[in-house]
Structure 1
Amino acid sequence: MPSTERHFIPTPRRTRGALGFLLLFVVVVGAVMSFAAPSTTQPSAVDGLPHSSQSWVASQLQSSLPQSLSQPAIIVFVRSDYRALSASDVAALNARSAAMVRAVSDTAPRSAASLLGALQISPSREVAFFALAVPTAPSNNAVSDRVVALRKELHLVLPVGVVAYVTGAPAFTTDLSKVFNGANTTLLLATVLVVALLLIITYRSPLLWLVPLIVVGVADQASGQLAAHLAPHLGIRLDGSSTGIAEVLVFGAGTDYALLLIARYRDQLRHQADRFAAMRVAVSRTGEAVLASGTTVTISLGLLMLASMSSTRALGFAGALGIVIAMAFVLLVLPAALLACGRGIFWPLVPRVGETRHSDGRLFARVGAFVERRSTVVAVGGAVMLLAASTLGLGLKVGLSTTQQFTATPESVTGQTILASAFPAGSSDPAIIMTRTDHVGATLAAARLVAGVTSVVAGPHDPTWSELDATLAASPGSPASFNTIDALRSALAHVGGAHAAVGGDVAVSLDAARASNNDTWLLVPLILLVVMLVLIGLLRSLVAPLLLLATVGLSYFAALGISWVIFQHVNHFPALGTGTAFYGFLFLVALGVDYNIFLTSRAKEETVLRGTAQGMLAALRSTGGVITSAGILLASVFAVLGILPLIQLTQIGIIVFVGVLLDTLLVRTVLVPALAIWLGDRFWWPSRRESSAPVER
């Protein structure tokens, strides 16, 4: 009997067509990959801030001053035996200071480094430091090269028994860049290994797992290459963080879509002898759910382009482009690859016409039967469990100081800790005050009166603008340092005519946190609205989308609560990083709703034949195995972020890992079916679902 399916996505009808499509695909992708992508640099933090922020204004004014294009690196000296520095130690350090300056100046591209004053020695003589001006032009990559050269030189010139640690803003920039040097390759390899292992376990085939892995892997590389070419033309600055997370997104979401398509194709091969017809039905029935899911994720990520932070915009661009390409590859390239391979690609579990399903659905049939008998208890109990888990996050803290960014302890953190034990904690990272030159005296006097400011000294100046460097008592990036910056800004705002702006790395961190918070309040409602509209369009219902969105929201807060317990008692993290909760929300709502889309779109199809309750149970039996596999795979892929020694990425990975597992194993498997059975046809309101006689398929 001819199929009545609407085939809105083209699929090959013969082996020759499949091979021809694959050849065209190889040519097109090869052409894209043949162009060398622009190199990705780590933009400075201040470049990503809104131009209305004081930090950005101060940076622009500072860049116009003579000798302004530099940052102080602090070289901290201590004896390895923790004794006081001797007179000979001090003399040797002073004698070899010129070599330290040359190490920075001679590093390509050559620059003019200089010492900022004499050697500072603590009252106990146990700690001493030089402040060395490290030129920041032309990029953060050059800053990192200069700091690396300085560290190498220190190993050669230090007197016996003395050790040195380079800290300060240039050193933190260097240690942060190390996290992303080769990080994308590390992430990619780890992700590929995780996906390959889980695909082998899922399909129990020595061949089949290679097909989706290769297709999604090529999609990932193509999207990365395309993003690198397009970003500069759109005014977007990609960085290691945005491209790394985008890779994880493409691999996770792309493999999920592939699992769904292959599962439906395998089912159809049990009903049809013609594999091409089976694929057309599989693509037709899967395509709507994949497009709805991918559209939700793409638009949600695209909304990040409205953010004020450039790093957020970069992630939105790279992620949205990657999801679009992943969808295209899964719905167009994967079917052609599977058809070219024939049924034998499923060996040794080759699906035969008329064959009953393996053990697919038995476990979920038992789960469904239990849910059907106790739908009210299960619905209420599931919601209560999620609410209880959410309360675990009531004491959650947000904000990591500069020394708390890393899971390991880099040299810059060690140096800052030693420096803070003997000098004001802010010595390594002074606040930068830009003021009108004719108001320097008034600005200087006002700044020195601010609590938490230990000293203020004059810096470079020109006839119009002058720089003042304020040393803070608090550790850089701590809440106390932020309070001091606020107090400085408040005090200087009352100096009439000075037009003072407070910048520096501590102020940049404060302004970034506030910009991120503002972006959250703007983007969260928009993302929820987009998800709601996509669900309404897919399900033709109002009740079902509201309930699905509510369950995903509950699972997010539950994941946040459970993750906070893990961070406190397992990882011993002091707080969430700025923006961590928002990124967790973004990925969980956009990706977590996928599984509800996959389930309810199949339930909508089955409801026409069986009614709401039996249709939902049939959908659970049909999709349970593949959605569970997809959820475990996606959760595992995000957990890979934990291999990078940066606390914020580890936190995002854990939150998404926990949330996706909750969505997969509790929300989609138990809570949503219970709600649908409990409400009956009201679940689909205002649509009317009139079922025909039950049909076995």
Structure 2
Amino acid sequence: MRPLRRFLPALLLLVWLAVGAVGGPYAGMLSDVAENDSAAFLPTSAESTEVQRLQRQFADTGAVPAVVVAERPEGITPADRAFLEDARSRLADADVTAPGVSPVLPAPAADAALRLVAPVAGDPGESVERIRGMLARAPAGLDVYVTGPAGRVADLSEAFSGIDGLLLLVAGSVVAVILVVVYRSPLLPLLVLLSAVLALGLASFVVYLLADGGVLALNGQSQGILFILVFGAATDYALLLVSRYREELREVPGRRDAMLRAWRGTIEPILASAGTVILGVLCLLFSELNSNRDLGPVAAIGIAAALLASTTFLPAVLVVFGRVAFWPFRPHRGTRKPESEGVWGRIAGRVDRTPRAVWLLTTVALLVPAAFLPQFEASGTAESELFLERVESVAGQEVLAEYFPGGAGAPTVVIADADATGAVLRATRAVDGVAEAEPTGTA
């Protein structure tokens, strides 16, 4: 048993380094299996989601409409029309579009804009990028945009594509600063961050395999939250373990014995905390919103990975480094306990002496902001507000809204039985605000 205790930390380090080598690259590959179309966020029971499902019966391709809109405020010229007509011909012959590229249509109220609709086949991100490249050489003064559902999906994918590295950098930097302030050691924060990075590698590996296999759905929102959640949970659990380990190093001479006592003293609260969070996020499985429901298992996997790394890898690496990890304030046996002194020591003593008064005061303090909860209004966020910077799909949608009827970029689709086509058309055209309604086909 004693030889096992001697070599167990080194064995755990080797296992986790292997996990990091295999799982680490998958953190940057999650975008490949993420879905950011509207169906990934809408409730499964929503009528619009059902329409998207039924639309697949009308066409074998999963075509998404891309809307090309061109604007010249002082008036469209013959050269502009020729450019759009030529672009339409090239789009109709290109392999990035599905059959059914529309004619070039002028704005009904002003001769300042043109538009055409091109169904995009394949990945909208790659297809829209190629379409924008084909339209790059527009006549001087003519502003050309690719918008519509395909344009928004492409811009969303582009916005989420850099989220991995950015979130990892920001989260790591913030956590590193906090840990340096808390631990007052340059080495210990690096060990804690390494534990979080390995946990993220494990979580990314598992989430990638499940998403790629169709077991769970991943979107950019869940992907970003996963990164933050793993770093936050791993750091939280590390605070408990490291603090207890430092206390035990002042009580016992051996670092292995100190870690064993620290691990036994913290494993229960860490397990309770992780278990509570995992059960809490799994409650999202009961949400009707797809984005929330899919977040549940992704977040649970992240918490489980943080728990595993914090209770196996971190203890092992702390044993290997021993008291050196706390340099320059190394805890030696018999040294004073600074946590019982100073401001925080006095606060802890006051809480210990008057626990009832403390929890009553904190409860009242929390109830005051909670009283404003009934005034909370969630009216939703427009897709244009999802971007921090002005993107082409948003700019194009604004041009469409200015010159063309509402819905020109993303027309409303009504699906009904074929024998009810006439009645549905009459009812739809009678709705105030409907510019036109036409049948498009039968299943």
**Length-normalised TM-score, structure 2:** 0.88
2:150 paired with 1:170: yes
The 1:201–1:170 alpha-carbon spacing in structure 2 relative to 1, beyond 3 Å, is same
2:245 paired with 1:254: no
Give yes or no for contact 1:236–1:310 (8 Å, CA) kept in 2.
Answer: no
Aligned with 1:98 (options 86, 89, 97): 89
Aligned with 1:124 (options 110, 132, 144): 110
The one-letter amino acid of 2:232's match is G
Measured after TM superposition, the shift of residue 344 of structure 1 is 1.6
Give yes or no for contact 1:165–1:411 (8 Å, CA) kept in 2.
Answer: yes
2:399 paired with 1:413: no
Measured after TM superposition, the shift of residue 420 of structure 1 is 1.3
The number of residue pairs the alignment matches comes to 440
**Which range moved further: 334-343 or 400-409?**
400-409
Measured after TM superposition, the shift of residue 304 of structure 1 is 2.6
**Length-normalised TM-score, structure 1:** 0.58
**Could you list the per-position Cα deviations for residues 346-386 of structure 1 after superposition, in whole angstroms to 9, with x for gaps in the alignment?**
11100011111236552123335666898888666544543
Aligned with 1:112 (options 79, 83, 98): 98
**Could you list the per-position Cα deviations for residues 112-158 of structure 1 after superposition, in whole angstroms to 9, with x for gaps in the alignment?**
354323322242323x2322222344xxxx111111111122221x1
The 1:181–1:360 alpha-carbon spacing in structure 2 relative to 1, beyond 3 Å, is farther
The 1:46–1:25 alpha-carbon spacing in structure 2 relative to 1, beyond 3 Å, is closer
Matched with 1:439 is 420
Aligned with 1:78 (options 59, 71, 75): 71
In the alignment, the residues of structure 1 paired with residue 415 and residue 252 of structure 2 have an alpha-carbon distance, to the nearest angstrom, of 75
The one-letter amino acid of 1:161's match is G
Measured after TM superposition, the shift of residue 54 of structure 1 is 2.6
SS at structure 1 position matched to 2:435: strand
Measured after TM superposition, the shift of residue 312 of structure 1 is 2.8
Give yes or no for contact 2:44–2:289 (8 Å, CA) kept in 1.
Answer: no
In the alignment, the residues of structure 2 paired with residue 409 and residue 30 of structure 1 have an alpha-carbon distance, to the nearest angstrom, of 38
Matched with 1:19 is 10
**Could you list the per-position Cα deviations for residues 172-209 of structure 1 after superposition, in whole angstroms to 9, with x for gaps in the alignment?**
11111111112112211222222222222222222222
Give matches, 1:253-652, under 5 Å.
253-358=233-338, 361-368=341-348, 382-390=362-370, 394=375, 396-459=377-440, 461-462=441-442, 465=443
SS at structure 1 position matched to 2:338: coil
SS at structure 2 position matched to 1:434: coil
Measured after TM superposition, the shift of residue 291 of structure 1 is 0.5
Measured after TM superposition, the shift of residue 265 of structure 1 is 0.4
Aligned with 2:136 (options 155, 159, 163): 155
**Could you list the per-position Cα deviations for residues 523-549 of structure 1 after superposition, in whole angstroms to 9, with x for gaps in the alignment?**
xxxxxxxxxxxxxxxxxxxxxxxxxxx
Structure 1 residue ranges without an equivalent (≥5) = 1-9, 466-697
Give yes or no for contact 2:42–2:289 (8 Å, CA) kept in 1.
Answer: yes
The one-letter amino acid of 1:235's match is V
Measured after TM superposition, the shift of residue 35 of structure 1 is 9.2
2:193 paired with 1:220: no
Give yes or no for contact 1:134–1:146 (8 Å, CA) kept in 2.
Answer: no
Give yes or no for contact 1:11–1:280 (8 Å, CA) kept in 2.
Answer: no
Matched with 1:133 is 118
Structure 2 residue ranges without an equivalent (≥5) = none
Matched with 1:55 is 48
In the alignment, the residues of structure 2 paired with residue 338 and residue 318 of structure 1 have an alpha-carbon distance, to the nearest angstrom, of 29
SS at structure 2 position matched to 1:342: helix
In the alignment, the residues of structure 1 paired with residue 400 and residue 25 of structure 2 have an alpha-carbon distance, to the nearest angstrom, of 50
In the alignment, the residues of structure 2 paired with residue 380 and residue 338 of structure 1 have an alpha-carbon distance, to the nearest angstrom, of 39
In the alignment, the residues of structure 1 paired with residue 255 and residue 164 of structure 2 have an alpha-carbon distance, to the nearest angstrom, of 38
The one-letter amino acid of 1:133's match is A
The 1:328–1:106 alpha-carbon spacing in structure 2 relative to 1, beyond 3 Å, is same
In the alignment, the residues of structure 2 paired with residue 92 and residue 44 of structure 1 have an alpha-carbon distance, to the nearest angstrom, of 31
The one-letter amino acid of 1:195's match is V
The one-letter amino acid of 1:44's match is D
Measured after TM superposition, the shift of residue 228 of structure 1 is 1.4
Measured after TM superposition, the shift of residue 69 of structure 1 is 3.8
SS at structure 2 position matched to 1:155: coil
Matched with 1:540 is none
Measured after TM superposition, the shift of residue 392 of structure 1 is 5.2
RMSD, matched Cα = 3.0
The 1:67–1:288 alpha-carbon spacing in structure 2 relative to 1, beyond 3 Å, is closer
2:170 paired with 1:190: yes
Matched with 2:33 is 40
Measured after TM superposition, the shift of residue 261 of structure 1 is 0.3
Give yes or no for contact 2:146–2:392 (8 Å, CA) kept in 1.
Answer: yes
The one-letter amino acid of 1:400's match is T
**Could you list the per-position Cα deviations for residues 493-549 of structure 1 after superposition, in whole angstroms to 9, with x for gaps in the alignment?**
xxxxxxxxxxxxxxxxxxxxxxxxxxxxxxxxxxxxxxxxxxxxxxxxxxxxxxxxx
SS at structure 2 position matched to 1:106: coil
In the alignment, the residues of structure 2 paired with residue 260 and residue 275 of structure 1 have an alpha-carbon distance, to the nearest angstrom, of 17
The 1:349–1:373 alpha-carbon spacing in structure 2 relative to 1, beyond 3 Å, is closer
SS at structure 2 position matched to 1:454: coil
Measured after TM superposition, the shift of residue 251 of structure 1 is 0.9
In the alignment, the residues of structure 2 paired with residue 117 and residue 69 of structure 1 have an alpha-carbon distance, to the nearest angstrom, of 21
SS at structure 2 position matched to 1:281: helix
In the alignment, the residues of structure 2 paired with residue 184 and residue 387 of structure 1 have an alpha-carbon distance, to the nearest angstrom, of 37
Aligned with 1:64 (options 57, 62, 68): 57
In the alignment, the residues of structure 2 paired with residue 378 and residue 134 of structure 1 have an alpha-carbon distance, to the nearest angstrom, of 63
The one-letter amino acid of 2:110's match is S
The 1:372–1:61 alpha-carbon spacing in structure 2 relative to 1, beyond 3 Å, is closer
Measured after TM superposition, the shift of residue 449 of structure 1 is 1.3
Measured after TM superposition, the shift of residue 47 of structure 1 is 5.7
The one-letter amino acid of 1:118's match is V
Identity of aligned residues (%): 31
In the alignment, the residues of structure 2 paired with residue 313 and residue 267 of structure 1 have an alpha-carbon distance, to the nearest angstrom, of 42
The 1:411–1:361 alpha-carbon spacing in structure 2 relative to 1, beyond 3 Å, is farther
User: Larger RCO: Structure 1 or Structure 2 (Cα < 8 Å, ≥ 6 residues apart)?
Assistant: 2
SS at structure 1 position matched to 2:187: coil
Measured after TM superposition, the shift of residue 322 of structure 1 is 1.8
